[in-house]
Amino acid sequence: EELVAAITALSRDPEVHGILLQHPVGPHIDERAAFEAIAPEKDVDGVTTASFAAMGFGLPGFVSCTPGGIMRLLDAYDVELSGKRAVVVGRSAILGKPAGLLLLGRDATVTYCHSRTRDLSSVVREADVLVAAVGKPNFIRGEDLKPGAVVVDAGYNPGNIGDVDFASAAGRASLITPVPGGVGPMTIAVLLAQTVEGAELQLGL
């Protein structure tokens, strides 16, 4: 109740233009209730249901920062997405699910994989674009990849290890993001950009 009250007060404060709740929170906190206390126009981390709906419908709003950073990376390297087979390994509400929505919005054919996906390797092997966001170190190996695939490793595990075994995957992928230094900095860049955008909108600039 105290956290929700604090976030609600910040949402109403005209001097505050963006709110990020550092997560995961402790087990005594209702994380979703805390997220929903953030006013949509200040949800610069893209974690509310309003932001999720905007991503799904392609409406104006703030995207989840890591998926947004992934899309900017793909654009920066001229990765064509229309008609391509994209596979997202992971289905979290702030990474896997929104990443798939944003890829779908760019006319990719999207498949979500998760812990109960049968024969995961065969699905991953069909991906022209792979987003790994499962939270398991070196979970995807080079032999799992389609030759020439674009690999985005959004995983971060203890010891600065990603979800993709970089050594074996680098020789098979056409493009691959390292961990650390790949997706992580893009997450922060998008957060800062969306904070500036939020301030401009709220100030009528």
Whether 38 and 71 map to the same domain: the answer is no
Whether 39 and 72 map to the same domain: the answer is no
**pLDDT of amino acid 105:** 96
Query: Within a 10 A sphere around the Cβ of 188, how many other Cβ atoms?
Result: 12
pLDDT interval class at 23 (50, 70, 90)? confident
Whether 78 and 37 map to the same domain: the answer is no
**pLDDT of amino acid 115:** 83
Whether 106 and 156 map to the same domain: the answer is yes
**pLDDT of amino acid 178:** 96
pLDDT interval class at 123 (50, 70, 90)? very high
Let me know if residue 169 belongs to a domain. yes
Residues above pLDDT 90, as percent of the chain: 97
Strands (E) across the chain are located at 85-89, 109-113, 129-132, 150-153, 175-176
Span 200-204, average pLDDT? 96
Residue 40, token pair as written in the block:
């949509």
Span 55-69, average pLDDT? 95
Instruction: Say how many domains are in the chain.
Output: 2
Let me know if residue 126 belongs to a domain. yes
| pLDDT at 82 exceeding the cut of 90 | yes
pTM above 0.85, yes or no: yes
Let me know if residue 9 belongs to a domain. yes
Rounded mean pLDDT of the chain? 96
Span 76-95, average pLDDT? 97
Residue type, 104: L
Whether 24 and 90 map to the same domain: the answer is no
What's the rounded Cα separation, in Å, for the pair 30 and 36? 10
Which residues have a Cβ under 8 Å from the Cβ of 45 and sit 6 or more positions away?
A: 19, 20, 21, 62, 64, 65, 94, 191, 194
User: For residue 125, what are the domain limits?
Assistant: 65-181
